Structure 1
């Protein structure tokens, strides 16, 4: 592997976001990188626009790959990662902008800390407001008793997500919008799971890293802007897809008792929402009856409903 950073960017009908992201990378202080853009079968007009703009940049370290169907987040990124040559892999949402020093900070941090497998930059929204980019892995205890109680019992594991920090520290998991992997460790745990179409990919790979005693660190000096929702249209199908991924994540990573308790907790949450808003009945019923991974949107490919 070359001592460079391979940046993987997924595009789906959102080339304007993708080009903004690429331009922020080109304007960064980092020079040792490659950009691999994977188009997830966008509309022809969007792909052509993206293709022309990338060609106009005329740099050998930017490559564009196109899938013939929308494979979703995990598998779409996997195709890009398999093309990567770098010692580090930066999975980056296309609806982000990297700060000028971010790539340099993350690269230097990983070089200086060879025992760390994944680093997560700080995220800010389009208005410059801090938005937490690290979170807690789901457990029976934190889902039934709350993160507040867990923070009292284990303050080092449940660091307050709302505060702004100045120094790096270990976290349970990071946002899938910006994950800076040590490539060797990424492959050691098997990489992203292609069974996930839209959600829970980051929970899954972070949990596998935790089980392998790998360290995940939040690096606050590295900053990105994350617009959020750049290629996803929120609707009932997307919400159901979240539960398909979530329930698969529970079944895959937890024993039967824990998985069942976690599912029940989320079903109760949705039932309470339905009680407050009866119009959510069809959504609640679908979560109960259509949450199998075999019903994933990947298999239906309904155009702009898929991201």
Structure 2
């Protein structure tokens, strides 16, 4: 029998997205499958819509909007399956998108998490910003993807067709073995949203697990369905959470050195926002640093130094992606020495 799989979509006021994309998920070809929509206390009629139009879809309701990270933690405590698939509500899927990834993960007990190829739903020839062909991390904690460096998005021309070990799998379509999810405690609820999947994958890798990219399956992501790129709160979360993942997951001495360097780089970003007149975004950087410092001891308590190795993981770029992109003018992943 095929291993059991639970596709879990976290929804918050996303009725329009469910109307558009849930039908494709319901057409998924996989025998041992359950589909669950977890609702973060929506007020837009999402639950009524599901109950009326899709009565066979299991609904789990959270008492409030817990955000992406804690919302999923609370949902998956109530789901039994061999594999969880965390799927954004703004993702369209083809029929046979599950089986190729599960087959790759079943072939190696050390593979804990994976993602399919993620392309842009509005132009399916292009990779999508938040995941593309697998996530990587640079020396200073900046995330980037094969197929996307900053705002340069590649067209899919078959250049990333090999199953590859990566650093992080996108939360837009994250496959994870349930045993591994519970072993590391799932997503860190203090992240609320953004980069929580990078932290999760890093903790898995610190335990010796692998994270892979599986190109034999692909999905189509709209992106920005909850917070768009021009939202100062998203800027705040990205700057704050990026510091947290460094503090939690690097060896102790390296962690605080890298945090210091990263805060210096963030200061340059702060000046850039001010010079552009984007004071809301400059304030978001200030607030991110302030709240990071306030939670310094709390996040330090989450470290497990016995589980943090000194060697680099697969998917870590040993230099600065900022320097490579903005100074060396490197625009494509294939030009990097990863």
Superposition TM-score, scaled by structure 2 size: 0.74
1:214 corresponds to: 209
Which residue of 127, 130, 140 corresponds with 2:127? Answer: 130
Alpha-carbon spacing, 1:182–1:222, altered in 2? closer, same or farther (3 Å): same
Describe the superposition over 1:50-98 as per-residue Cα deviations: whole angstroms up to 9, x where unpaired: 332221xxx3xx3101222110001111122112211011111110012
- Say if 2:116 and 2:219, in contact at 8 Å, map to a contact too: yes
Pairwise CA distance, 1:274: 2.6
What is the aligned residue count?
Answer: 275
2:231 corresponds to: 235
2:267 corresponds to: 267
State whether structure 2 residue 102 is matched by structure 1 residue 107: yes
Alpha-carbon spacing, 1:290–1:204, altered in 2? closer, same or farther (3 Å): closer
Describe the superposition over 1:11-38 as per-residue Cα deviations: whole angstroms up to 9, x where unpaired: 1111232244432122122121111211
1:82 corresponds to: 77
Pairwise CA distance, 1:205: 0.7
Query: What aligned pairs does 1:1-307 form with structure 2 within 5 A after superposition?
Result: 3-55=3-55, 59=56, 62-126=57-121, 127-128=123-124, 129-131=126-128, 132-140=132-140, 162=154, 164-233=159-228, 234-254=230-250, 255-275=255-275, 277=276, 279-289=277-287, 291=289, 292=291
Pairwise CA distance, 1:211: 1.1
Distance 1:138 1:167 in 2: 21
Root mean square deviation of aligned Cα: 2.6
User: Gapped runs of 5+ residues in structure 2?
Assistant: 149-153, 296-338
Moved more, 90-99 or 110-119: 110-119
Distance 1:290 1:110 in 2: 36
- Say if 1:92 and 1:178, in contact at 8 Å, map to a contact too: yes
Distance 2:105 2:211 in 1: 11
Moved more, 35-44 or 86-95: 35-44
Distance 1:104 1:282 in 2: 44
- Say if 2:165 and 2:212, in contact at 8 Å, map to a contact too: yes
Q: Helix, strand or coil for the counterpart of 1:78?
A: helix
Distance 1:166 1:72 in 2: 33
Distance 1:167 1:68 in 2: 42
Distance 2:274 2:26 in 1: 47
- Bigger proportion of residues as helix: 1
Distance 1:289 1:96 in 2: 31
Distance 1:112 1:179 in 2: 18
Distance 2:284 2:197 in 1: 25
Q: Helix, strand or coil for the counterpart of 2:202?
A: helix
Superposition TM-score, scaled by structure 1 size: 0.81
